[in-house]
Homo-oligomer: A and B are copies of this chain.
Amino acid sequence: MRRKSRQRKVILDVLKRTKTHPSAECVYREAKKVIPNISLGTVYRNLKLLQSVGEVSEISCEGDEGRFDGNPHLHYHITCRQCGKIKDVEDILFYNIEKKVAAVTGFKIVNHCVGFQGICPECLNK
């Protein structure tokens, strides 16, 4: 049975309040501000555990590997090729594509993800 450790709570809290989709290393640095002797291994272990219970997710799509999102709801991401920032894409979701793909491939679909790459407004104005 799972216990609530202080470390896990802090890690989850960091993810919930950090909007920049931090890497494991970055979560570690933030968590260290609260628990100075927390270890990187613990961060990895908890990120994995929190993913497995669906409380956080790991972002991925072309070059965004190893960054995490404390928002567990399905949503898409967009990455700036110039400055590297990752933002959430709001209000766009394709619920029906899973059915379509199931029909075409014969797979039972359990999830999908979508990622965009581009240049953000700030970088465009430079």
Seen from chain A, the residues whose Cβ lies within 8 Å of a Cβ on chain B are 58, 60-65, 76, 78, 80-81, 87, 89-92, 94, 97-98, 100-102, 104-121, 124
Contacts and interface: CB of A to CB of B under 8 A. Distances in A.
Interface SS, A side:
mixed
Given A58-B62, A61-B61, A112-B114, A107 B90 contact: no
A4 B124 CA distance: 36
Q: How many copies does the complex hold?
A: 2
A109 B116 contact: yes
A108 B118 contact: yes
A110 B104 contact: no
Given A60-B65, A101-B116, A107 B92 contact: no
Nearest to A91: B104
A114 B113 contact: yes
A110 B81 contact: yes
Nearest to A79: B107
Contacts of A64: 60
Given A65-B65, A112-B115, A117-B109, A104 B124 contact: no
A60 B76 CA distance: 14
